[in-house]
A and B are shown apart, each in its own frame.
Chain A
Amino acid sequence: MKCQECGEREATLHFTKIVNGKKAEFHICEHCAREKGEHIPGSNSFSIHQLLSGLLHLDKPINTSQDKVNRPKELVCHNCGMKYEQFTRTGRFGCAACYKSFEDKLDPILKRVHSGNHTHSGKIPVRVGGGIQLQREIDSLKAQMKQYIEREEFEQAAETRDQIRALEEQKKNQGEG
Chain B
Amino acid sequence: MSLQKFISEAISPWMKKDGADSDIVLSSRIRLARNLKEYKFPLLATMEESSAVVKQVKESLLTDDNQETGPLELVLMEDLKANEKRVLVEKHLISPNLAEQSKHGAVILSEDESVSIMINEEDHLRIQCLFPGFQLTKGLEAASRLDDWIEERVTYAFDEKRGYLTSCPTNVGTGLRASVMMHLPALAMTRQLNKILPAINQLGLVVRGIYGEGSEALGNLFQVSNQLTLGKSEQDIVEDLRDVVMQLIQQERAAREVLMQSSKLQLEDRVYRSYGILSYSRVIESKEATQRLSDVRLGIDVGLLENVSANILNELMILTQPGFLQQYAGEVLSPDLRDERRATLIRERLKLENDTNE
A and B are partners in one complex rather than unrelated chains: yes
Chain A residues at the B interface, C-beta cutoff of 8 Å: 18-21, 36-37, 39-43, 48-49, 52, 79-82, 90-96, 99-100, 106, 109-110, 113-129, 132
Q: In the complex, A81→B166 CA distance in Å?
A: 17
The 9 closest A-B pairs by CB, nearest first: A117-B231, A120-B163, A96-B157, A114-B230, A122-B174, A94-B44, A42-B211, A42-B215, A18-B216
Interface size class for chain B? 35 or more
Q: Are B201 and A36 in contact (CB under 8 A)?
A: yes
CB <8 Å contact, A115 and B155 = no
Cβ contacts under 8 Å, B35 to chain A: 96
A94 engages B230 (CB within 8 Å) = no
The winner among B35, B201, B216, B234 for most chain A CB atoms within 10 A is B216
Interface residues of B in 55-112 (CB under 8 A from A): none
Q: Is the CB of A121 within 8 A of B160?
A: no
CB-based contact B156/A125 at 8 Å: yes
B211, A120: Cβ atoms under 8 Å?
no
Taking a contact as CB atoms under 8 Å apart, the answer to whether B44 and A120 are in contact is: no
Partner of A127, one of B155, B167, B174, B231: B155
How far, in Å, is A141 (CB) from chain B's closest CB? 18
- B200-218 interface with A by 8 A CB criterion: 201-202, 204, 206, 208-209, 211, 214-217
Q: Are A125 and B41 in contact (CB under 8 A)?
A: no
Which residue on chain A has the smallest CB distance to residue B38? A96
Residue contact A20 to B188, C-beta cutoff 8 Å: yes
Residue in contact with B151 in the complex, picked from A52, A117, A122, A126, CB distance below 8 Å: A126
Q: Report chain A residues within 8 Å CB of B197.
A: 19
Main secondary structure of the interface of A (DSSP, over half): loop
Please give me the residue from chain B that is nearest to A136 by CB atom: B160
Given A48-B170, A92-B41, A122 contacting B201 (CB threshold 8 A) = no
B224–chain A nearest beta-carbon distance, Å: 13
List 24 contacting pairs A-B, 8 Å CB cutoff, sorted by A: A21-B291, A36-B201, A37-B201, A37-B204, A39-B206, A41-B209, A42-B214, A48-B170, A82-B44, A93-B165, A95-B41, A99-B159, A109-B169, A113-B170, A114-B173, A117-B228, A118-B162, A118-B231, A120-B160, A122-B173, A123-B174, A125-B164, A126-B151, A129-B158
Q: Is the CB of B232 within 8 A of A121?
A: yes
Across-interface contacts of A126 in B (CB, < 8 A): 148, 151-152
> A171 CA to B202 CA in the complex, in Å?
42
Taking a contact as CB atoms under 8 Å apart, the answer to whether A127 and B152 are in contact is: yes
**Contact yes or no, A128 B37, CB < 8 A:** yes
* CB contact between B44 and one of A40, A95, A123 (< 8 Å): that residue: A95
